[in-house]
Amino acid sequence: MVRVELDGMKRVFKDGTFVGPISLTVEDGELLTMLGPSGSGKTTTLRMIAGFIQPLEGSIRFDGIDVQAVPPRERGIGMVFQSAALFPHMTVYQNIAFGPEMAGWSQSETVERVEELSEILRIQRLLMRRTNEVSGGEAQRVALARALALRPRLLLLDEPLSALDPQLRERLQMEIKEVQKTLGVTTIYVTHSQDEAFAISDRIAVLNEGVVVQIGEPQDLYDSPRSAFVARFLGSGNVFSGVVEESSGNTATVRVGGHLFRVTGSAPVGMEVSFTVKPEDVVLSTEVSVKGIRGRVLGVVPQTGSFRIKLSFEGQDVVVETNDDRLVEELLESTGITVSFSFSETNAHLLNHQV
Amino acid sequence: MSSPSYPRRRDPAKIAGAVIIVAILAVASLLIVDWMGRETEPVVLRVYTYDSFMVWGDDPATIDNRTFDAFEEQYGVEVRIERLTTDANGIVSRLVAEAANPVADVVIGIDNILILQEEAKSVLTPFTPSNLNLINDTLVNLLDPQHHVVPFDFGLVTVIFDSIEINATTNPELDALTFSDLATPELASALVTENPFFSSPGLAFLLSEIAFQEKLLGQDWEDWWSAVKDDINIQPGWSEAWEVWDLDPERKLLVSYGTDPAYSSWWSGEAPTTSVAPYHHDGNDYAWLQIEGIGLVKNGPNPTIARAFIEYCLTSAVQENIATNQWMFPANMDVTLHPAFDYALHPDDVSPLNDLLSAAEIAANLTTWLDEWENIITSW
Amino acid sequence: MEKRVKGHITERIGSLLVIVVPIVILLIFLVYPVIVVLIGGIISDPFTILVDTFSSQVTQRTLWFTLGQAGLSTLLSVLVGLPGAYFLTRFRFRGRSLLRALILVPFVLPPIVVVVGFLRVFGSGGLIDAALMTLLNASESVVNLSSGILGIVLAHVFYNIPLVILMVSASLERLSPEVEESAEILGASVTQKFVRIVAPQIKSSVAASSILIFMFCFMSFPIVLALGEGRLMTLEVQIWNAFRYFEYDEASILALTQVVITLALAYSYVKLTRTSDDGAVITSYMKTRELAELANRERILVAIYVASLMVLVAGPFIAIVQAAVFDPFAGEYTFRGFTNLLAPGTGGGLLPLLNSLSYSLLATILAVVLGLSLAYSHKSRVRAVPSLASSLTLLPLGVSAITVAYGLMLAITVPLGLNTNPWMVIVVAQTIIGLPFSTRAIEIALQNIDPEILDQADSLGASRLQRLLYVEFPLLAPGILVGAVFAFAMAIGEMSATLFIALPQNTTLSIAIYQFLGVRKFVEAGASALIVAAICFIAFLVIERFSETAQGGTP
């Protein structure tokens, strides 16, 4: 469909805050997610791609052609908002048919296209309804169908599912991904939910404070975050800070408080570094050895299929994920007890950037 | 699935079209009315007058035709009597506003007080009709010796009452009414008058009071108003005052015209229940003489025909319609009056208070008197 | 690429024209004439004129009375109107929307009609007096509520209650019932609930309607003229006094004073209504109750309130209806008033009705078209344009109709030679008078459009024109309709300016009423008044229907 390149795009707001410079490339047919907390600049970036707002600097190219001067309606995009933004004075059919009709398609072509999309999105029975007679999930399906009706080269989705309940959200994530793959339309998806990003994306660009901090496939980001921000934001990962005591090859020993940890990565001795460990890689034991690293249990939270345990260690929180029922039972009986934890050096990664 | 018939999008062009059609229809109908009303004759003579001009007869719808058709035929013009929804002051204001580009040729209704204003004179061209001898000289000179306007009709402004509710038996003072009588709480609370700022009978009443108190009695005219201001009822115009007088059982006296009994009798076909109470002093009855004039608008489009029209208006063809349509005395003394006028207060019955106040005195003091009156009336 | 750039330029020019053209039109047809009148009168020696005018005791009294009666009328209108707003928003009963439309009618009645109806109910010898006289077996008049300051204030209250009810009930409808319910759950008493929850919500709409009422009463003319009996004058009456005796300098300086005061009020009105919408929750459903759910005590209160409202608001209206069919001279019921009106022919007949309808329709269309582009100018990013647009919109509220009419006469009609048939100028005057209302209604509707919906239309490839025609206008439709109906009602009820400009061939229903009253044709006057009222009533019913169907529009 289209390959989108952002090159040093920057926008400054009245209050002096700014977004960018942002450079990233979305490959043809790819589904790229822009992930970040609110205020990180994802929506602004998306609106610059759509053309609703103009960047102060930098350029934006579709298939190598600069589209800066092209107004949104001529960029060949489809867009879905969190609020669905259905036209309230039209029926569902009229909403979906809006694009084709404005473009001057014939009635039969339009009907055919609307029926095709409504079949894919399973909203045929809604076509004659007014927009105030459809539910939130249905409204997003209609909005998606409407955005796709003109066969856009690029689909922009701005937190389309945030307002929906979790089950519905999961189902629709799958559907969006399916539809996107079927149609092969290049898609940029904005969300603040890492679950959603992981479920749906080919690649994820993590944004923070107006810049892309890391971009890559979901697994890569998860396994090797390059900054404490990404580690925390993606994996709810544990981030420890300390000083390098010893370094050889691709392993290093880091002192955190009074404890030594062996981690993967290299850094000069004496340097202050951070490293991260995912919650599921931390191993927990109720047998407290003198040598072992100890933490006090703060709480146990059940998850689907596992438990999340929060420990206090050296004044910071450490999150552990486990599905050991016996262990959890023990912990639940006596909250506040001290346990020991450990992780293998292959699961602990030095972070490149101090953020 | 069965192919449903999807609604076609409503075309906003159609709605816009509908609005445009409505607009065009409205404009077109206005243009058609405008065009239909357009001069069927090559020349249109516009006569500005006040709203109630000649509408008090038995067929007000045709009075213009009956009165002016002969002139139209003779001169091949269309006479349009433009009854503006205002009084003579309003007409002068309009003529002042239109001074740069006047459309009226003749104006009827400027009276002997209004003509004293510079603005009124400024919109008129003095003209002496060749048949001015039809009119009593005294009237002509009393109205305007320079003939900016010449008399069209005249009447007497005085106090009237409904003789069923109040009469010489209940109130003997009505037979010889003085302003001191009118200042008693009983009569003051029964009197309705008009605001001199908005109504010519109201202004006539103010000037009557000034003439009577100052000139006949040598008293300060302001004292009388200070004494009655909380008791009398002052309405903006004559018709509002008449309505109060008619509706409110408390208000039995009205400042109005001496011809009202004639109208009352003509209207009911019986002896009138409306009576007049002219002001009385030292064996004499007094009233204010109001003379309404007709004049030539300065720089009007058709001055020649306009002059002919003014002369026509002084002939009996027009003058004989005044009595029973306007309920004023025709300025042309040769006209025979309707028998109902036997009940009217005639100029011969009274001495005009106008004689006591010279035109120069009124012209010099009118604004001051009005401002002082306003000051007295609005004070708390 | 070339074509695209061109397209942009024409679009730019197009949107610039949309903003500039109405502003220029208003500068020519409103600002210029008003300046000609106001400045023309005082240019010779402004300072002396100012000192002379304001050192006069009459002027000082007038100023105090104008302010005082306006304040009192406003206070009473709000006090009487508030329960009505609450009642109409919170209770379900049959004929609710009918009552809502009916209660708005007084607002658009020509003031002269109000005066007649008012005198016939409250005046000495009127309905109330007559009833009391019979009751007390008195031969003299017992009570006269129609004269002096009492009469003026009562008439103003009658006139302006609809505004309070309309504006306050609109903000009450936006009060989410959940908020109120949670307050109840938290144990708030009725008073606490009112003070803490309801009052803050309606605060700005009460203030906005108060300012508007104050402004109307401040400018009040025919009512004060008729009921003030010369003793009580508003500035407007004094201006008219001065104007009639050709004291143009005094008239101008007073009119200028009036403009300054009213524009300050108008400005604060706009500030208040702009902020009032922020953060208000628009709910598609409200907390309503059935009348039957009321306790006896409440029922009595409601009954007393409705009864007094009926006397105050419906009384004069009923008097007008009666005047339309009862001939007081012949002492019989007749339809002559209506048959006379419908009879074709010159001098009355069908002409006033046709004139009224075509002038007000044209004025409405113009007021909506101008209002639309002024409403869009309020969103303009070009500096000074929004504030210029709002001041131009508000100016008609601050300048008396007579000043506008005289200015149009002096600056437009006569120089252009339109005075042989000034119907176009009448349409212009009526447009100007309806403009603040149409613009406000459209502006509010415009603010309520979700900007994402417009972005959506853009992203779907709609051209700017398509977006305007297929998305914005349909969404604005209810606002446009409300604005149109108000502009229409103002236009058809307009008398002062029309009367000043019109020649007999331009007679409208409102002028006809005035003329009929002048020659004591009460039946004809009543019938004309009733027709004006009925036309407005139908128009308001249309608004009601539309706002009800439009309610579920936005999810």
pLDDT in tens, B19-68: 788 888 877 877 777 676 665 557 889 999 998 899 888 888 888 889 99
Both C36 and C134 in one domain: the answer is no
**Residue B26 to chain A, least CA–CA distance (Å):** 30
Is C166 in a helix, a strand, or coil?
A: helix
Which residue is listed with tokens 């689909």? A155
**What is the rounded average pLDDT of the residues B197-218?**
93
**Tokens standing for residue B274:** 């409306």
Residue C65 lies inside a defined structural domain of this protein: yes
**Residue A86 to chain C, least CA–CA distance (Å):** 7
Give the model's pLDDT for residue A247.
79
Q: Is the pLDDT of residue B133 over 90?
A: yes
Residue C401 lies inside a defined structural domain of this protein: yes
Pick from A192-201, A251-260, B9-18, C37-46: least confident: B9-18
Q: Which residues of B touch A97 (CB under 8 A)?
A: 6, 9
Give the model's pLDDT for residue A53.
83
Tell whether A190 lies on the interface with C, counting CB pairs under 8 A.
no
Q: Is the pLDDT of residue A120 over 50?
A: yes
Residue C330 lies inside a defined structural domain of this protein: no
Q: Which residues share a beta bridge with A58?
A: none
Phi, psi dihedrals of residue B290, rounded to the nearest 5°: -105, 125
Domain boundary among C272, C291, C322: C322
Contact (CB, 8 A) for C81 and C165? yes
Both C466 and C537 in one domain: the answer is yes
Contact (CB, 8 A) for C123 and C114? no
**What is the rounded average pLDDT of the residues B254-275?**
91
Considering CB atoms only, which of C232, C420, C518 is closest to B52? C518
**What is the rounded average pLDDT of the residues A241-252?**
79
C134: containing domain? 57-322
Supply the DSSP string of B101-126, one letter for each residue.
S---SEEEEEETTGGGSHHHHHTEE-
Contact (CB, 8 A) for A95 and A174? no
Element (H, E) at C165: helix C148-173
Q: At what angle do helices C148-173 and C57-90 cross, to 10 degrees?
A: 40
CA dist list (Å): A30 to A46, A121, A185, B372, C397:
16, 20, 7, 91, 59
Give the model's pLDDT for residue C292.
63
> Which residue has better confidence, A14 or C278?
A14
Residues in chain B: 380
Give the ipTM. Answer: 0.83
Considering CB atoms only, which of B3, B4, B9 is closest to A128? B4
Say how many C-beta atoms besides its own lie within 10 A of residue A124's C-beta: 15
Chains that touch C (3 or more CB pairs under 8 A): A, B
Whole-number average pLDDT of chain B: 89
Both C26 and C155 in one domain: the answer is no
Residue C421 lies inside a defined structural domain of this protein: yes
Q: Which residues of A touch C5 (CB under 8 A)?
A: 69
Give the model's pLDDT for residue B2.
42
Residue C146 lies inside a defined structural domain of this protein: yes
CA dist list (Å): C298 to B112, C91, C478:
65, 12, 36
Residue C460 lies inside a defined structural domain of this protein: yes
**Tokens standing for residue A239:** 């981030």
Please calculate the CA angle B225-B231-B233 and round it to the nearest 5 degrees: 90
Q: What digits encode the pLDDT tens for the residues B334-353? A: 899 999 999 999 999 999 99
Tell whether A103 lies on the interface with C, counting CB pairs under 8 A.
yes
Q: Which residues of A touch C453 (CB under 8 A)?
A: 85-88
Is C448 in a helix, a strand, or coil?
A: coil
Hey, are the CB atoms on C555 and A139 less than 8 Å from each other? yes
Domain boundary among C287, C322, C357: C322
Torsion of CA C306, C309, C315, C316, to 10 degrees: -150
Tell whether A118 lies on the interface with B, counting CB pairs under 8 A.
no
Name the pairing type of β-strands A154-158 and A186-191: parallel
d(CA C154, CA B258): 36
Say how many C-beta atoms besides its own lie within 10 A of residue C278's C-beta: 8
Domain boundary among C289, C322, C355: C322
Q: At what angle do helices C351-377 and C423-447 cross, to 10 degrees?
A: 40
Hey, are the CB atoms on A127 and B4 less than 8 Å from each other? yes
Hey, are the CB atoms on A127 and B6 less than 8 Å from each other? yes
d(CA A201, CA A206): 12
Contact (CB, 8 A) for A5 and A60? yes
Q: Which residues share a beta bridge with B162?
A: B274
User: Burial of A313 by CB count in 10 Å (0-12 exposed, 13-18 middle, 19+ buried)?
Assistant: middle
Both C212 and C357 in one domain: the answer is no
Q: Which pLDDT tens digits describe chain C residue by residue (555 residues)?
A: 444 445 567 767 777 787 888 888 889 999 999 998 888 877 777 788 888 888 888 888 899 999 999 999 999 999 988 888 887 777 767 777 777 777 777 777 777 778 878 888 888 777 888 888 888 887 777 777 877 888 899 889 888 888 888 778 777 776 666 666 666 666 666 677 677 777 777 777 788 788 888 988 998 888 888 888 878 889 988 888 888 888 888 888 998 888 888 888 877 777 776 654 443 333 334 456 666 666 677 778 878 887 887 777 778 878 888 888 887 767 778 887 787 777 654 455 678 888 888 899 899 999 999 998 888 887 777 777 777 787 788 888 888 888 888 899 888 888 888 878 888 899 999 999 889 888 888 887 887 788 888 888 888 888 888 888 888 888 888 788 878 888 888 888 888 888 888 888 888 888 888 888 777 777 888 888 888 888 888 877 777 776 655 433 222
Give the model's pLDDT for residue B329.
95
d(CA B113, CA B127): 19
Contact (CB, 8 A) for C371 and C442? yes
Both C76 and C5 in one domain: the answer is no
Element (H, E) at A186: strand A186-191
Give the model's pLDDT for residue C41.
78
Q: Which residues of C touch B119 (CB under 8 A)?
A: 246
Q: What digits encode the pLDDT tens for the residues A250-297? A: 888 887 777 778 788 777 777 778 888 877 787 777 776 656 677 777
Q: Which residues of B touch A115 (CB under 8 A)?
A: 1
Contact (CB, 8 A) for A207 and A39? no
% pLDDT > 70, chain B = 95
d(CA A52, CA C451): 11
Contact (CB, 8 A) for C91 and C289? yes
Tell whether B226 lies on the interface with C, counting CB pairs under 8 A.
no
Both C115 and C201 in one domain: the answer is yes
Phi, psi dihedrals of residue A41, rounded to the nearest 5°: 100, 10
d(CA A320, CA A278): 8
Which residue is listed with tokens 């109005």? B256
**Residue B7 to chain A, least CA–CA distance (Å):** 8
Q: Is the pLDDT of residue B156 over 90?
A: yes
Which CATH number fits the domain that encloses residue C480?
1.10.3720.10
Both C118 and C15 in one domain: the answer is no
Contact (CB, 8 A) for B177 and B277? yes
Residue C50 lies inside a defined structural domain of this protein: no
**Tokens standing for residue B339:** 């028998």
Both C489 and C542 in one domain: the answer is yes
Both C295 and C373 in one domain: the answer is no
pLDDT band at B187 (very low <50, low <70, confident <90, very high): very high
pLDDT band at A128 (very low <50, low <70, confident <90, very high): confident
Give the model's pLDDT for residue B46.
93
**Tokens standing for residue A283:** 């191993």
Amino acid residing at C347: G
Both C256 and C380 in one domain: the answer is no
Choose among B275, B278, B292, B290: nearest CA to B349: B278
Q: Which residues of B touch A107 (CB under 8 A)?
A: 8
Tell whether B164 lies on the interface with C, counting CB pairs under 8 A.
no
Residue C8 lies inside a defined structural domain of this protein: yes
Amino acid residing at A145: A
Contact (CB, 8 A) for C430 and C360? yes
Please state the domain count of chain C. Answer: 2
Q: How far is CA C206 from the centre of its chain?
A: 16
**Residue A141 to chain B, least CA–CA distance (Å):** 19
Q: Which domains does chain B have, with CATH numbers?
A: 43-154+290-339 (3.40.190.10), 156-289+346-378 (3.40.190.10)
Q: Is the pLDDT of residue B75 over 70?
A: yes
Both C317 and C210 in one domain: the answer is yes
| Secondary structure tally for chain C: helices H, strands E | 27, 4
User: Burial of A312 by CB count in 10 Å (0-12 exposed, 13-18 middle, 19+ buried)?
Assistant: middle
**Tokens standing for residue C265:** 């009020």
Q: Which residues share a beta bridge with B110?
A: B293
Amino acid residing at C54: F
Is C217 in a helix, a strand, or coil?
A: helix
Both C117 and C221 in one domain: the answer is yes
